Amino acid sequence: FQRSRSKWLREGDSNSGYFHACVKSRMMRNSISALYTPSGWVEGPGNVREAAVSFFRNHFSVEEWERPTLDGVDFPVLSLDQNDQLTEPFSIEEIEEVVNSSDGSKCPGPDGFNFAFIKEFWELMKNEVKILFDQFFENDCFPGCLLSYFLTLIPKVKSPQQLGDFRPISLLGCWYKILSKVLANRLAIVIGALIPKSQSAFVKGRQLVEGVVVVNEIICFEGLVSIKNGDAG
């Protein structure tokens, strides 16, 4: 193992037979030659592709159903100043802050660019990036080509046979991540005025398990009170 690792460090990035052998081996491990479907086993690239498309099209489809309304429920509201903070045009500084704080080693999206590339050439790209964000601000629309992603299948069991045995992971491109983080940073400034202190889910610095712990402590406390009252009686 140590010798193999040493060889990879020496030749892993070289255009050598060893590199291409590693790539070929990895492709073979990641390929799916056959799948078990409700109609039986399917084999061959075309049939496997058709089965995968059909499965995920059905998996990601949304059924129409009547959603409950929240009429009559009073929610906290933002002040005019807070609303202005959320709706002001994007600045190059807040975009640059997100770029600099992002991990450059993450897997690239379908466009082939990762954050390491964007950081390296930021001075050349930042004006065009600012134009992209200005257009999103004005039109409330992000180019569809920048919303595409790779769908990677992670096995949930040791020997997966059907697509339900895989967990799909979306590998998004950098531009979608930058936009979502910029919006999240803005929302973080005012979110404290909208979320009560009792909420533990989906809040930075709080954990979902905190709510479970609180409920457990309340039940234990009530149990102790009942025992004491019973003893007193």
- Give DSSP secondary structure letters for 11-43: HTTSSSHHHHHHHHHHHHHH---EEEETTEEEE
Other C-beta atoms closer than 10 Å to the C-beta of 179 total: 19
Q: Is residue 7 part of a domain?
A: no
Residues 210, 140 share a domain: no
What would the two tokens of residue 156 be?
A: 């949930």
CA distances 129 to 40, 91, 94, 163, Å, are 49, 11, 12, 38
Query: Is 200 a member of any domain?
Result: yes
* 146 and 215 assigned to the same domain: no
Contact yes or no for 193/76 (Cβ under 8 A): yes
Same domain, 223 and 115: no
User: 152 and 88, same structural domain?
Assistant: yes
- Say if residues 164 and 157 touch (Cβ distance below 8 Å): no
Which residues are bridge partners to 169 per DSSP? 152
| Percent of the chain as helix, strand, coil, to the nearest 5 | 55, 10, 35
Does residue 222 share a domain with residue 135?
Answer: no
Chain centroid to Cα 220, Å, comes to 37
Question: Which pLDDT does position 134 carry in this prediction?
Answer: 93
- Looking at the fold, whether 185 and 208 belong to one and the same domain comes out as no
pLDDT tens per residue across all 233 residues of the chain: 455 666 665 666 666 777 777 777 777 777 788 888 888 999 888 898 899 889 988 888 877 778 888 888 888 888 999 999 889 999 999 999 999 998 887 777 788 888 899 999 999 999 999 999 999 999 888 887 788 888 888 889 888 888 889 888 888 888 889 999 999 999 888 888 888 777 777 777 777 787 788 888 888 888 777 777 765 44
Please tell me the pTM assigned to this model.
0.68
Q: Are 119 and 113 in contact (CB under 8 A)?
A: no
Specify if 27 maps to a domain. no
Backbone angles phi, psi at 31, to 5 degrees: -85, 155
Q: Are residues 182 and 203 in the same domain?
A: no
* Structural domain count, the chain: 2
Query: Closest Cα to residue 169, out of 101, 109, 104?
Result: 109
Going by C-beta distance under 8 Å and a sequence separation of 6 or more, which residues neighbour residue 109? 148, 149, 150, 171, 172, 173, 174, 176
Question: 105 with 212, same domain?
Answer: no
Q: Measuring CA to CA, which residue among 149, 152, 153, 151 is closest to residue 173?
A: 149
pLDDT of residue 143: 82
Which domain does 204 fall in, by range?
Answer: 196-228
Give domain status of residue 70, yes or no: no
Question: What length is written for the chain?
Answer: 233
Contact predicate 109/174, CB 8 Å: yes
pLDDT, residue 110, reads: 82
